[in-house]
DNA sequence: TGACACATGTAATAAGTTACATGATTAT
DNA sequence: ATAATCATGTAACTTATTACATGTGTCA
C-alpha cells in the first residue's frame, strides 16, 4: 500500500506523467523502489478519484497526448502524514532476490557454473554503480534542499553496489579454495561415516 | 513465480511442514526471501497437486497433526532446471524499502525526526547482524557441502547489515553538519532568486 | 521495413496480505 | 484467566505482473 507514497514523493518534486514516473522508478530509484507501468497508471487513476492528485491533459503536435499529474493538497497531507508516522509495525521490506536464492543452493549445481554466476553478478553491480555515479555527477552538482534525500539514497546505492561486488569477489575466492580442496560437488558420500 | 523455488530449496535439505518453512523464511533467510504463511500453505497444496512434492500426515499425541512435505523427483528436476537456466531476462528483484523511500523525501520533514529514524534504522541493522552471527555460530560450526551456500549468503547478510548501519552513521553525520549550517528545513524561500 | 521511443491503457492472471477460524498445550 | 506456541487452513481482498492493444514519429 505504499506505492502511492512513492508516486506522491516523485510528484511532490515536480508534476509528471505515468510514463515519466515509470522511467524514474526504472532508471533512478531501482535500489529501493520498483513498479510496473500498468500498476502506476492504475494507481494514478485511483489517486485522482480520491482527490490526491489532479491530471491535466496536454496536447502535443509531435507526440501523442499526455496526462501530467500534480499533487493536490490532500495528497500532500497524506504523504506528510505517512512520512511522520512512527514505523512501529515493522514495515514490510519483502526482499526477494533470486540471485541470493541461487547462491544459497549452489551445492546443487556445478561449481564453475556458480562462479560464472558470481562473476556476472559482480559485473552487474559494478556497472550499476558506475551508472549511479554518473547520475550523481549530472543531477547532484549543486545540492539544494529538495535533492538532499536523493543524495543520501544515491550514496546508499553506491555503497550497496560496492558491497555486492566485494561480496561476489570474496565468495569467488572462497569457492576457488574449496574447488582446489575438492570439497564441493565431489564425493559427498565420504563425509557421512555410518548413516 | 519463484516462491516455489525458494520452498523447493528448503525442502531439498530436509522434509518440512508449511509451518517450519514459514519459520525458516522468517528467522533465517529474511535478507533474501520472505513469504506469508498462508501463501506457503497454498503453494504447497498447489505443488502437491502438480506432483512436485508429496505430503505425509504425521499424527501427534501432544500436538495437532502435521503434514510433512518432501520433494519428489519432478520437483527436484524443476528446481535444478531453474538453478541452471541462464538468467538472461533480468530476474525481478523488486526492491521495496519504505525506509529508503522516507529518506529520499527527508527534506519534507523535520531534520531531528529524520535523524531519529536513521538512529533506529541503525539499531535495527546492528541487532539483525548480531542475530545472524549467532545463527552462524550455532548452525555453521562445521561446514558440510549442503551448508556451503548458506555460509555465503549469511556472510552476505552480515555485510549488508554492516553497510546499512555504516551508511546510517554517515548520513547522520552529514545531516548534523547541514543542521549546523542551517541549510535544511529552514528558509527555503531565500534560495529562489527571481522565480 | 522493422525496431524503438513516446504515451496510455485494458484484461487476465499470479502473487501477496489481512482477517478470521479451529483446537490443543504450555507458560505467566 | 490470558497469552503464546504449535499447526493448519479458508475467504476476501489488495497488489503486482504479463499479454495484448493502439497510434505517432524517428532512426537505421
**Does A96 sit within 8 Å of B93, measured CB to CB?**
yes
pLDDT of residue B83: 93
Per-residue model confidence as pLDDT tens digits over A153-195: 999 999 999 999 999 999 999 999 988 877 655 444 333 333 3
Per-residue model confidence as pLDDT tens digits over A24-71: 998 888 889 999 999 999 999 999 999 999 999 988 777 778 999 999
Question: Quick one: pLDDT band at residue A86, thresholds 50, 70, 90?
Answer: low
Nearest-by-Cβ selection for B102 from A83, A117, A188? A83
Please give the CATH architecture assigned to the domain spanning A3-84. Orthogonal Bundle (1.10)
* Cell numbers placing A112: 564453475
Q: Give the CA distances from residue A149 to residues A131, B66, B68, B190, in Å, rounded to whole numbers and listed in that order.
A: 18, 49, 48, 20
Instruction: Give the largest CA-CA distance in chain A.
Output: 79
Q: Which residues of A5-30 are buried (b: 16+ CB within 10 A; e: fewer)?
A: bbbbbbbbbebbbbebbbebbeebbb
Positions of chain D reached by protein Cβ under 7 A: 6-12, 14-19, 23-26
Query: Which residue of B lies nearest to A28 if distances are taken between CA atoms?
Result: B104
The gap between A141 CA and C16 C1' (Å) is 40
Using the structure block, give the residue that is written with the C-alpha cell 507526440.
Answer: A63
In chain A, residues with a C-beta closer than 8 Å to the C-beta of B149 are 103-107
Q: Which of A11, A13, A3 is nearest to A148 (CA)?
A: A13
In order along chain B (195 residues), what is the average pLDDT of each group of 10 residues?
A: 92 94 88 92 95 89 82 95 75 80 94 94 92 88 86 95 97 92 53 36
- Residues 84-103 of B, Cβ under 7 A from nucleic strand D: 92, 94, 96
pLDDT of residue A192: 35
Whether A64 CB is under 7 Å from strand C: yes
Domain B3-83 belongs in CATH node 1.10.357.10 = no
DSSP state of B36: -
pLDDT of residue B90: 59
Determine the Cα–Cα distance for residues A157 and B132; give it in Å rounded to an integer.
Answer: 23
Amino acid at each position: 500500500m505504499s506505492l502511492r507514497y512513492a508516486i506522491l514523493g516523485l510528484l511532490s518534486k515536480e508534476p509528471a506523467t505515468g510514463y515519466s514516473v515509470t522511467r524514474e522508478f526504472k532508471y533512478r530509484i531501482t535500489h529501493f523502489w520498483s513498479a510496473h507501468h500498468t500498476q502506476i497508471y492504475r494507481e494514478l487513476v485511483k489517486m485522482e478519484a480520491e482527490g490526491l492528485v489532479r491530471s491535466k491533459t496536454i496536447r502535443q503536435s509531435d507526440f501523442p497526448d499526455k496526462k501530467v499529474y500534480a499533487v493536490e493538497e490532500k495528497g500532500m497531507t497524506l504523504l506528510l502524514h505517512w512520512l511522520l508516522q512512527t514505523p512501529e509495525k515493522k514495515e514490510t521490506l519483502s526482499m526477494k532476490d533470486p540471485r541470493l536464492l541461487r547462491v544459497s543452493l549452489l551445492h546443487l549445481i556445478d561449481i564453475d557454473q556458480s562462479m560464472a554466476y558470481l562473476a556476472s553478478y559482480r559485473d552487474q553491480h559494478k556497472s550499476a554503480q558506475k551508472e549511479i555515479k554518473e547520475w550523481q555527477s549530472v543531477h547532484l552538482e549543486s545540492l539544494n534542499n529538495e535533492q538532499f534525500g536523493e543524495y543520501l539514497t544515491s550514496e546508499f546505492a553506491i555503497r550497496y553496489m560496492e558491497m555486492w561486488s566485494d561480496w561476489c569477489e570474496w565468495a569467488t575466492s572462497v569457492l576457488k579454495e574449496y574447488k582446489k580442496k575438492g570439497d564441493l560437488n565431489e564425493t559427498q558420500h565420504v563425509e557421512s561415516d555410518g548413516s
